Amino acid sequence: MPEKTTAENIFGSIVETLAESGSKQKSVSFFGEEKSNPVASQFNRLFGRQKPVYNLLGGGKSADVLLWRNKKVSASFLTGATAIWVLFEWLEYHCLTLVFFALVLGMLAQFIWSNASGLFSSGRSQTKVPRLVLPEEIFVNIAITISAEVNRALSFLQDVASGGNIKQLLVVLASLWAAAVLGSWFSFLTVLYVGIVAAHTLPVFYERYEDQVDSFVYKVLQQIQDNYRKLDDGVLSKIPKGKLKGKKFE
């Protein structure tokens, strides 16, 4: 059928474009054989971006961690997230088990410390064992941050649902559907860990090779748009569309 042949040709063209663009960008990024045009890169920023990546991430300590300005903190955070993911996913530990084991070890350590200090003090007063007290501000700040982010997400979803922008609504619905599918494939902890790894790798990679990434993405989007026009002219425009006529009421 002509429609099937046209669709196959378009799909093959997309694959060839991705392969050619990927090979070109790879040679530019790692071997330095070509240089991107700095004038063109100023106008082809991804999604119309005008601010630096550091400012888009909010600046401050969070941006420093995500962009590896402080390598020790970034590496420690990523290592801790990896250790937690391995404990719960690979070794199949449970949260309550680890919490109670930690409490048992803490109580034993405090018991040994408080009694051993009296034995080795030679009649002097016992060494005061330090007390672990969590400040209330930590829990208050966590609750405020979580509630603010949840309310912002709910407000965004409600604005999209009632805004009348069909394109934006379809994009959000497709994103939520994709998130639901991913949630059925992986556990919440795995999805959260993948998000943490992506947050610690993609921004710093984009900041280093932003000209090449922007150029590659725009070439792909342009090719997809051209192929969609061909598909529309060759297939979609030939599909008969029914006409709805309203009834007249006297």
> What's the whole-number mean pLDDT along residues 222-242?
75
Q: Residue 25 and residue 18: Cα distance in Å, rounded?
A: 10
Say if CB 25 and CB 242 are below 8 A apart: no
- Which residue do the tokens 């099937």 mark? 4
Asked if residue 226 has pLDDT above 70, the reply is: yes
Contact 212, 36 (CB under 8 A): yes
pLDDT of 18 above 50: no
Which pTM does this prediction carry? 0.57
- What was the pLDDT predicted at 167? 85
Name the least confident of 104-108, 146-150, 162-166: 162-166
Residue 125 is predicted with a pLDDT of 57
> What does the pLDDT read at residue 57?
77
Q: pLDDT higher for 4 or 97?
A: 97
Question: pLDDT tens digit string along 45-78?
Answer: 665 666 777 877 777 788 888 888 888 999 999 9
- 114-142 per-position pLDDT tens digit: 887 666 655 555 567 778 888 889 889 98
CB 191 within 8 A of CB 183: yes
Report pLDDT digits (tens) over 75-94.
999 999 999 999 888 888 88
Which are the contacts of 192, defined by CB distance < 8 A and separation ≥ 6? none
pLDDT of residue 16: 55
Rg of the chain over all Cα atoms, to the nearest angstrom: 28
CB 113 within 8 A of CB 129: yes
Beta-carbon contacts of 228 under 8 Å, excluding residues fewer than 6 positions away, are none
The domains of the chain are located at 1-50+210-239
The structure tokens listed for 102 are: 């930690």
Q: Is the pLDDT of residue 150 over 90?
A: yes
* Of the listed ranges 114-128, 167-181, 206-220, the one predicted with least confidence: 114-128
Counting residues of the chain whose pLDDT is more than 90, the rounded percentage is 20
> How is residue 117 written in tokens?
């200090």
Say how far apart CA 123 and CA 225 lie, in whole Å.
85
The 8-class DSSP code of residue 67 comes to T
Token pair in block for residue 146: 């979580």
In this structure, are residues 9 and 238 in contact, taking their beta carbons and an 8 Å threshold? no
CA gap 175, 168 in Å, rounded:
11
Q: Is 184 exposed, middle or buried (0-12, 13-18, 19+ CB in 10 A)?
A: exposed
Per-residue tokens: 86? 């391995």
213 φ, ψ (degrees, to nearest 5)? -65, -45
